[in-house]
Amino acid sequence: MSPPAIELTQVVKRFGALTAVDHLDLTIPTGCCFGLLGPNGAGKSTTMRLLTGQAVADAGSVQVLDRPMPAASKDVRARSGVVPQVDNLDDELTVAENLGVYARLYGVARADRRAAIDRGLALARLTERPNTVAHALSGGMRRRLLIARGLMHRPELVLLDEPTVGLDPQVRQQLWSQIATVRADGATVVLTTHYIEEAERLCDLVAIVHRGRIVAQGPPDELIARTVGREVLEVANGRTSRDQVERLAATAGLRTRDAGTGVAVLGSEQLDGEVVDGGRRRDATLEDVFVALTGQELT
Distance CA 172, CA 199 (A): 12
Determine, yes or no, domain membership for 208: yes
What rounded mean pLDDT belongs to the chain?
A: 88
What pLDDT digit, counting tens, does each position of 123-161 carry? 889 999 999 999 999 988 998 899 889 989 989 999 998
Show Cβ contacts of residue 246 under 8 Å, excluding neighbours closer than 6 positions.
Answer: 256, 263
Residues 190 and 246 in one domain: no
Determine, yes or no, domain membership for 10: yes
Residues 51 and 154 in one domain: yes
Q: What per-residue confidence (pLDDT) applies to 276?
A: 65
Residues 270 and 144 in one domain: no
Determine, yes or no, domain membership for 296: no
Is residue 176 helix, strand or coil?
A: helix
Contact 55, 224 (CB under 8 A): no
Contact 214, 26 (CB under 8 A): yes
- With bands split at pLDDT 50, 70 and 90, how would you rate the model's confidence at 296? low
User: Which residue(s) pair with 67 in the sheet?
Assistant: 64
Distance CA 44, CA 210 (A): 9
CATH number at residue 41: 3.40.50.300
Is residue 214 helix, strand or coil?
A: strand
Show Cβ contacts of residue 167 under 8 Å, excluding neighbours closer than 6 positions.
Answer: 139, 140, 143, 175
- With bands split at pLDDT 50, 70 and 90, how would you rate the model's confidence at 13? very high
Determine, yes or no, domain membership for 291: no
CA distances from 20 to 37, 287, 294 (A): 15, 22, 16
Residues 81 and 211 in one domain: yes
Determine, yes or no, domain membership for 94: yes
Q: What per-residue confidence (pLDDT) applies to 93?
A: 97
Distance CA 149, CA 147 (A): 5
What pLDDT digit, counting tens, does each position of 209-224 carry? 888 999 999 999 999 9
Q: Which helix (H) or strand (E) holds 201?
A: helix 196-202
Distance CA 259, CA 235 (A): 9
Residues 58 and 127 in one domain: yes
Show Cβ contacts of residue 299 under 8 Å, excluding neighbours closer than 6 positions.
Answer: 39, 40, 194
Residues 108 and 31 in one domain: yes
Determine, yes or no, domain membership for 159: yes
Which residue, among 193, 220, 215, 189, has the nearest Cα to 205 in the 3D structure?
A: 220
Residues 212 and 267 in one domain: no
Handedness of CA 290, 291, 296, 299 (dihedral sign): positive
Q: Of 195, 219, 243, which residue sits at a domain end? A: 219
CATH number at residue 259: 3.30.70
Mean pLDDT across 109-123: 94
Position with higher pLDDT, 118 vs 164? 118
- With bands split at pLDDT 50, 70 and 90, how would you rate the model's confidence at 298? very low
- State the Cα angle at 88 between 109 and 20, rounded to 5°: 105
Residues 14 and 105 in one domain: yes
Q: What per-residue confidence (pLDDT) applies to 277?
A: 65
Residues 102 and 29 in one domain: yes
Distance CA 81, CA 64 (A): 13
Q: Of 191, 219, 247, which residue sits at a domain end? A: 219
Q: For the chain, what is the domain count?
A: 2
Residues 141 and 270 in one domain: no
Strands 33-37 and 188-193: parallel
* pTM given for the model: 0.86
Residues 10 and 149 in one domain: yes
Determine, yes or no, domain membership for 299: no
Determine, yes or no, domain membership for 88: yes
Runs of H (alpha helix) within 3-43: none
Residues 68 and 159 in one domain: yes
User: Residue 246's domain spans which residues?
Assistant: 230-283
Q: What per-residue confidence (pLDDT) applies to 163?
A: 81
Percent of the chain scored above 70 by pLDDT? 95
Distance CA 138, CA 146 (A): 12
